[in-house]
Amino acid sequence: MCLPWQHSTKALVWFDDVDISDFTAVLLIYGSLLLSGICYCLRVFWCAAARMSELELEQRTNIKFLVKLGKSGNEIREMLVQVYGDNAMKKTAVYDWVKHFSEGRECVTDEER
């Protein structure tokens, strides 16, 4: 049975034969690959978040337009589902925006808190 520190001792002995510059190069390569992977994931997440925001603003604008045409919340929700499918706003969000626009709100963006 090997104890944990015996493994690390064997690893240290093995690394005695390796030039430190080789080890540093390997660390730099793997480090840069890791960072590029993280950057890619962040970019994908950011683009998805931005796209979701665009869809939300687009739907709010459509809700505003349809409220001005006198459409009901149910009609508006059905139209959004027909056009956007799974990406359509949730029912409660649609009804909230219908209420805001019916009360005279003109701005489709969120108000700062």
Q: Say if 78 falls within a structural domain.
A: yes
Domains: count for the chain:
1
Q: pLDDT digit string (tens) for 51-66?
A: 558 899 999 999 999 9
Of the candidate ranges 6-20, 75-89, 92-106, the one whose mean pLDDT is the lowest: 6-20
Q: Say if 94 falls within a structural domain.
A: yes
User: Residue 35: what residue type?
Assistant: L
pTM passes above 0.85 = no
Q: pLDDT digit string (tens) for 7-35?
A: 444 444 455 555 666 767 766 777 776 77
Reference 60, options 29, 105, 19, 10; nearest CA is 105
Q: Say if 46 falls within a structural domain.
A: yes
Q: Say if 14 falls within a structural domain.
A: no
Q: Say if 112 falls within a structural domain.
A: no
Q: Say if 52 falls within a structural domain.
A: yes
Q: Say if 3 falls within a structural domain.
A: no
Q: Say if 109 falls within a structural domain.
A: no
Question: Which residues make Cβ contacts (< 8 Å) with residue 89, sequence separation at least 6?
Answer: 56, 59, 63, 77, 80, 97
Confidence of residue 47 (pLDDT cuts 50, 70, 90): low
In which domain, by residue range, is 43 found? 19-102
Distance between CA 67 and CA 70 in Å, rounded?
5
For tokens 């994931």, what's the residue? 41
What pLDDT is recorded for position 31?
74
